[in-house]
């Protein structure tokens, strides 16, 4: 059994679930994907560029592209049910439960695939619903790069 996770304000691409299923059939215990923000106001183009530059650079190897990445998003996550149960599932945290789950899977010796394939489109909300989450990150970046007047 496979548990696929996304967010209510996100849109999975065609083939997203089939991709996770194929990785499960290859023996992976979890698939940790990336996200692409959507819905940015045009006035924040410089924030968009800064975010994408930082996001894409994370985990890249010098001299070449890599499919691997350090990101964890509940909006693009899949896990084998037995591995999920063995590592204790999502912990009861107000934020970062997706990071904690992936960390527990990795610490527990489960096979975790981090892939940039099949990114999920997610809300480019600058007002965070959860402190420490993706929206909070985008809001801090907007303040640092460009504070709208």
pLDDT digits (tens, 9 = 90+) for 43-72: 778 888 888 888 888 876 655 556 778 999
For residue 38, give the CATH number of its domain: 3.90.550.10
Locate tokens 């402190």: which residue? 131
143 — phi, psi (to 5°)? -65, -40
d(CA 87, CA 91): 10
d(CA 121, CA 10): 5
Examine residue 35 and state whether it is found in any structural domain, yes or no: yes
| Residue of 42, 15, 25 lying closest to 80 (CA atoms) | 25
* pLDDT in 10s for each residue of the chain, 149 residues: 999 999 988 999 999 999 999 999 999 999 999 999 888 878 778 888 888 888 888 876 655 556 778 999 999 999 999 999 999 999 999 889 999 999 999 999 999 999 999 999 988 777 766 677 777 777 788 777 765 54
Identify the domain containing residue 31 by its residue range. 2-122
Total domains, the chain: 1
* DSSP of 42-111: GGGHHHHHHHHHHHHHTTPBTTB--S------TTSEEEEHHHHHHTTSS-S-SS-HHHHHHHHHHHTT--
């Amino acid at each position: 059994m496979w548990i696929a996770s996304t967010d209510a304000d996100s849109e999975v691409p065609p083939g997203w679930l089939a991709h996770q299923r194929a990785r499960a059939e290859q023996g992976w215990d979890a698939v940790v994907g990336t996200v692409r923000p959507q819905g940015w106001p045009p006035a924040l183009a410089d924030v968009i560029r800064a975010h994408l530059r930082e996001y894409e650079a994370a985990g890249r190897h010098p001299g070449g592209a890599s499919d691997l990445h350090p990101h964890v998003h509940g909006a693009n996550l899949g896990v084998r049910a037995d591995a999920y149960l063995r590592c204790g599932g999502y912990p009861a945290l107000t934020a970062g439960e997706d990071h904690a789950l992936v960390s527990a899977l990795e610490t527990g010796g489960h096979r975790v695939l981090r892939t940039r394939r099949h990114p999920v489109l997610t809300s480019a909300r600058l007002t965070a619903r959860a402190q420490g989450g993706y929206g909070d990150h985008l809001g801090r970046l907007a303040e640092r790069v460009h504070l709208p007047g």
